[in-house]
A and B are shown apart, each in its own frame.
Chain A
Amino acid sequence: MPSQEFIRLALIAGTPIALASGAIGYFIVLRSQVFAGETLSHVAFTGAIAAAAAGIDLRFGLFAATVAVALLLAALGDRAMSDDVAIGTILAWILGLGVFFLDLFNHSSSGGNGITAARTLFGSIFGLSSQDAKVAAVVSAILMLAILLIARPLLLATIDPRVAAARGVPVAALGTGFLVLVGIDAALTTQVVGALLMLGLIAVPAGAAHRLTANAYLALTLSSTFALASLWLGILLAYEIPTLPPSTAIVGIAASIYALAFIITAGHSRRLLPKVDVQPRLGSTARNVQ
């Protein structure tokens, strides 16, 4: 099976993307910012359509749009955490803009838009070019490195922003920087599994890891492992069963892992915040209360 060129490219591009998405996803879940992540994936859709309408390189549109909106989301959120109501209105507007560009594209050129739309919505991991694979591998390696570099302060800033601030951690700047990383990851993942299923690689493995362990570093590792397992098994499954779209297979595996984690932890009572060596825990849950 790896002898097939499209499978080889899918694995080359998919492996680093899955690892990076799993790691970033854990922080997204921990910070309850999944909705922001989802919005960024829709931005990737709108960005791609806009780029197609303007006739510029698709990838440039994707990255520019997601980073810009990541900055906007960070500016609107309080204390660099997310504000789901603001995100909701932005999401609706982004989708509206997507429709606008789709219309524009329809007027400027005939046909082809359905394919662009379908590609950005559902991705095509079996249709990557070798250049796509290279870009994906390089960018996600950089992402992975960046997330590992900021992991410790980000963890502290997430679990207890006040203590982190008192210790001199730049909480707001970290939050903004993190959202930008999510934006870049969204742009990248969208090309592989599509805008609609991006969360399948980002939030679902991370959600399972978050359920299973309160140890943050173990959870990070688990999350990346689950994402990778979902991708590999999904590709294998989709290869064996031709009627099964690869995106569906990947998400199916990820969701099964989440369901297993749900069943395993169902009866247990345990703390769901990771332990960090911080003594005062004042206010750590205050932000969870609306």
Chain B
Amino acid sequence: MNPSLTWNLVSDVRQLFVYPFMVNALEAGTIVAVLAAVTGWFVVLRRQTFAAHALSVMSFPGASAAALAGIALPIGYFAACTAAALAIAAGSRTQHRRNPAQESAVIATVEVVGFALGFLFLSLYGGVLESLESLLFGSFLGITSTQVLSLLGIALVTLALFGVAGRPLLASSIDDLMARARGVPVRLLEVSFLVVLGCAVGATAQITGVLLVFALLVAPAAAAQELTSRIGLGLALSVTIALLVIWVALGLAYYTNYSVGFYVSSIAFAVYLAARLRRRFWHRDPRGINIETATVAA
């Protein structure tokens, strides 16, 4: 196998689909991009990128615990993600209010405990660190079609949940007090959002690597929110950016020696930087989510 880039774009693109592993990678990438872009839009809106990062690495202790105990891997990482999400939700509030200092401390605590336990289980299991590296950075080009199907399942379930709880979640993300006054179960939403986020991201990371999911989770959504304050448009933009990023990155990785994770994170970062600079120099008005329209919509 020795693909080479030519000036003929059509044949370049056609070459991408010659090998089944590449088709699987493109399918998986598309699913992950849509899932991460939508989930990430809420993460960025709620300023919970640190929690998202901590939850995305929980699949490491989960998977190594499952390997050690001899149970199915998905049970391991769903359990680890749920436990971590509950711990973060419990520790980040003092006197019924989000306390940013304690929130960041408890997230860090959960994350390092996760890593430490994972490392311990791994050394007890006698496994090699290879698996950690592939978990962190992903082995995107070795995805099977069964894994594509399970990714699709995870994505559909998560998107369905957002379809059901999207509006109240949006309301509580934008104005906690107002939503509470209107009878939205804010606390329940907060905890379930973390659990769903953890499970979705953790399960995806198991297949594509933590790095890739996290890059697609934050940067496209952050760029979209720099570009527009409208909700529907923002979500659409976020998904579009994520799809473009993953497709271009997969194409580049196919034709060069370097890994997908590097291309995904670099392109996504460049897009975010461009969006931020555009706001800085083109439109001097400070944008964010427009609170009036958002609360009306919710």
Residues of A at the B interface (CB closer than 8 Å) are 29-35, 37-38, 84-93, 95-97, 99-100, 102-103, 107, 114, 117-118, 121-122, 196-197, 199-200, 202-204, 206-207, 210-211, 243-245, 247-248, 251-252, 254-255, 258, 262, 269, 272, 288, 290
Contact = CB atoms under 8 A, between A and B. Distances in A.
B101 A210 contact: yes
Contacts of B217: 88
B100 A92 contact: no
Interface residues of B, number: 58
A85 B53 CA distance: 11
10 A-B pairs with least C-beta separation: A96-B265, A207-B105, A88-B49, A203-B108, A34-B104, A92-B215, A93-B269, A251-B116, A88-B218, A32-B100
B113 A35 contact: no
Given A35-B104, A199-B112, A207-B105, A118 B129 contact: yes
B50 A95 contact: no
A211 B98 CA distance: 14
Contacts of A254: 112
Contacts of B106: 207
A204 B110 CA distance: 9
Contact of B100 (A204, A247, A252, A288): A288
Given A85-B222, A248-B119, A252-B116, A204 B108 contact: yes
B264 interface: yes
A155 B9 CA distance: 58
Nearest to B210: A95
Contacts of B94: 272
Nearest to A117: B133
A42 to B, nearest CB: 10
Contacts of A93: 215, 265-266, 268-269
B50 A243 contact: no
Interface stretch (B21-29, B72-80, B153-161, B253-261): B253-261
Given A29-B101, A88-B52, A197-B115, 12 more contacts: A30-B101, A34-B104, A34-B107, A84-B49, A90-B269, A93-B265, A95-B214, A96-B265, A200-B116, A207-B106, A243-B124, A252-B113
A50 to B, nearest CB: 13
A84 B264 contact: no
Nearest to B90: A262
The binding surface of chain A is classed by DSSP as helix
A35 B47 contact: no
Interface of B: 44, 47-50, 52-53, 91, 94-95, 98-109, 111-113, 115-117, 119-120, 123-124, 129-130, 132-133, 136-137, 211, 214-215, 217-219, 222, 257-259, 261-266, 268-269, 272, 276
B48 to A, nearest CB: 8
A85 B257 contact: no
Given A99-B259, A245-B119, A272 B269 contact: no
Contacts of B264: 96
A258 B132 CA distance: 27
A85 B47 contact: yes
A210 B50 CA distance: 19
A100 B120 CA distance: 28
Contacts of B48: 84
Nearest to B124: A243
A89 B269 contact: yes
B214 A91 contact: yes
A252 B106 CA distance: 14
